[in-house]
C-alpha cells in the first residue's frame, strides 16, 4: 500500500521552518497583528463549526449511549490518567514542561472532520461518529481548562479560570451558538463550501503555530532539545496512541459492540484535535515563552493519528466491502 504524506503535516513542518528563519514576525515587537488576526480567525472557525452542526444527524447519534460513554471516557478520563501516572517521575523544570505538554495533549477533545471521514472509510457508525466528534469539542471547552488548571497554576504561569472561561465564551461558545442558530439559513452554504472553510481553518491554525514557535525560537528555548529528544517524543507519542487504540478496542469488545461500533470507538476515542490544541494553547497559556514546546506532542500526535488511522481505515473498509460482496 502506498502511503501518502498528509499535506497539512507538510505545511506544519514548513511553518515551523519559517518561524525558525524569521522569528521576528511573531514577536511582540512585530508590526504584524498576528494575535488580533488569529483571535478573529478562531471565532470564525467555531462560527462555521456551528453552521455545519446538523441537529438531525446529532439526534440520530444520541441513542447509542454506551458507545458515547466509552468514547468520551477514553478522551477525557482514560487518556489524561495515563499521562498523570508519569508525573511522579518528574525531576526538574525541563521535564515538568515536557510532561505538561503531554498532559495538555491528553486533556484535549477529539478531532471532528478526520474522525468522521476515517469512520466512513472503515464502514463504521457514521452518525455516532458525527455526534461524538461534535459533542467532544463542546465538552472540551469545559473539561480541558479544568484539567490544565490543576497543574498550570503550579508552574507559576498567570492562570485565571475566570479569564480563561471569558475568552472561551467569547471566542468559541458564542460563535458556535450563533452558527447553530443560523444553521437553517446558512448551513447548506457552509456544507457546499466545506473544503474552502477547511482551508481557512488550517490557515488560522498554521498562523497560531507560527506565532507559538516564533516566540520560542526568539527566546532560544529549543537550544536544549536535540534530534534525539524529538525522536524520543515521537516514540512516546506513538506508544501513547497504541495503548489508547488497543485499550478502546478491548473495552469495546468487552461491551459487546458490533464491528461498526468497535471501529467508531477506536477511531473517535483515540483522536485529539490539533485545532482545539492550538486554540486552547493560545487561550490557556497566553504568551508563555515555552508554548512552542507545549505544542510539540499534539503536532506529532496529529501526524501519527492521521497516518495510522488512515491505513487501518482503508484496510477495514476493504474488508467490510469484501464481506458485503460475499453476502
**What CATH number did the domain enclosing 208 receive?**
1.20.1530.20
For residue 76, the 8-state DSSP code is I
Q: Is residue 294 part of a domain?
A: yes
**Do 71 and 119 meet the contact criterion of CB atoms below 8 Å apart?**
no
**Do 303 and 230 meet the contact criterion of CB atoms below 8 Å apart?**
no
Distances (CA, A) of 168 to 20, 161, 177, 238, 276: 30, 10, 12, 30, 11
**Do 119 and 129 meet the contact criterion of CB atoms below 8 Å apart?**
yes
Burial class (CB within 10 angstroms; exposed 0-12, middle 13-18, buried 19+) of 162: exposed
Q: Is residue 316 part of a domain?
A: yes
Q: Is residue 136 part of a domain?
A: yes
Domains contained in the chain, number: 1
Q: Residue 233 belongs to what domain range?
A: 7-321
Nearest to 118 by CA among 131, 130, 105, 135: 130
Residue 106: predicted pLDDT: 96
Radius of gyration of the chain (CA): 20
Residue 1: predicted pLDDT: 45
**Do 119 and 267 meet the contact criterion of CB atoms below 8 Å apart?**
yes
For residues 257 and 248, give the distance between their C-alpha atoms in angstroms, rounded to a whole number. Answer: 11
Q: Is residue 226 part of a domain?
A: yes
For residues 129 and 267, give the distance between their C-alpha atoms in angstroms, rounded to a whole number. Answer: 9
For residues 73 and 79, give the distance between their C-alpha atoms in angstroms, rounded to a whole number. Answer: 8
> pLDDT tens digits, the chain, 327 residues: what are they?
444 556 777 888 888 889 889 888 877 777 888 888 888 888 888 888 788 777 776 676 667 889 999 999 999 999 999 999 999 988 888 888 889 999 999 999 988 666 776 787 787 887 788 788 778 888 988 899 899 988 876 544 555 667 767 777 888 778 888 988 898 889 888 888 888 988 888 888 788 888 877 877 777 766 667 778 888 888 999 999 999 999 999 999 999 999 889 999 999 999 998 878 888 887 888 767 667 788 889 888 888 887 788 778 777 777 766 665 555
| Helices and strands in the chain, H and E counts | 16, 0
Please identify which residue in the block is written with the cell numbers 503535516.
Answer: 9
What lies within 8 Å, CB to CB, of 205 at 6+ separation is: 274, 275, 278
Please identify which residue in the block is written with the cell numbers 484539567.
Answer: 147
Residue 144: predicted pLDDT: 92
Q: Is residue 1 part of a domain?
A: no
For residue 226, the 8-state DSSP code is -
Q: Is residue 326 part of a domain?
A: no
Q: Is residue 2 part of a domain?
A: no
What lies within 8 Å, CB to CB, of 267 at 6+ separation is: 115, 118, 119, 122, 124, 129, 309, 313
Nearest to 57 by CA among 116, 105, 123, 12: 116
**Do 316 and 123 meet the contact criterion of CB atoms below 8 Å apart?**
yes
Q: Is residue 327 part of a domain?
A: no
Amino acid at each position: 500500500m502506498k502511503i501518502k504524506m498528509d499535506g497539512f503535516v507538510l505545511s506544519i513542518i514548513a511553518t515551523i521552518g519559517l518561524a525558525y528563519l524569521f522569528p521576528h514576525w511573531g514577536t511582540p515587537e512585530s508590526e504584524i497583528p498576528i494575535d488580533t488576526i488569529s483571535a478573529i480567525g478562531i471565532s470564525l472557525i467555531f462560527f462555521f463549526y456551528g453552521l455545519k452542526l446538523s441537529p438531525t444527524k446529532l439526534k440520530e447519534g444520541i441513542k447509542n449511549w454506551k458507545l458515547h460513554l466509552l468514547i468520551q471516557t477514553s478522551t477525557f478520563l482514560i487518556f489524561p490518567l495515563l499521562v498523570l501516572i508519569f508525573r511522579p517521575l518528574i525531576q526538574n523544570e525541563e521535564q515538568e514542561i515536557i510532561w505538561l505538554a503531554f498532559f495538555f495533549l491528553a486533556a484535549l477533545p477529539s478531532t471532528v472532520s478526520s474522525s468522521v471521514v476515517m469512520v466512513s472509510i472503515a464502514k463504521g457508525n457514521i452518525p455516532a461518529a458525527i455526534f461524538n466528534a461534535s459533542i467532544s469539542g463542546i465538552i472540551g471547552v469545559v473539561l480541558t481548562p479544568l484539567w490544565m488548571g490543576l497543574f498550570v497554576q503550579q508552574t507559576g504561569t498567570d492562570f485565571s479560570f475566570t479569564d480563561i472561561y471569558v475568552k472561551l465564551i467569547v471566542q468559541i461558545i458564542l460563535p458556535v451558538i450563533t452558527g447553530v442558530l443560523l444553521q437553517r439559513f446558512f448551513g447548506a452554504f457552509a456544507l457546499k463550501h466545506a473544503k474552502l472553510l477547511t482551508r481557512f481553518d488550517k490557515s488560522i491554525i498554521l498562523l497560531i503555530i507560527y506565532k507559538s514557535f516564533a516566540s520560542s525560537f526568539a527566546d532560544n528555548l529549543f537550544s536544549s532539545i536535540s534530534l534525539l529528544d524529538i525522536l524520543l517524543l515521537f516514540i512516546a507519542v506513538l506508544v501513547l496512541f497504541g495503548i489508547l487504540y488497543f485499550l478502546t478496542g478491548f473495552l469495546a469488545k468487552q461491551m459487546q459492540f458490533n464491528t461498526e461500533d468497535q471501529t467508531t470507538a477506536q477511531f473517535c476515542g483515540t483522536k485529539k484535535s490539533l485545532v482545539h490544541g492550538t486554540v486552547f494553547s493560545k487561550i490557556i497559556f497566553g504568551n508563555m515563552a515555552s508554548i512552542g514546546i507545549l505544542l510539540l506532542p499534539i503536532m506529532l500526535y496529529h501526524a501519527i493519528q492521521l497516518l495510522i488511522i488512515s491505513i487501518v481505515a482503508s484496510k477495514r473498509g476493504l474488508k467490510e466491502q469484501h464481506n458485503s460482496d460475499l453476502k
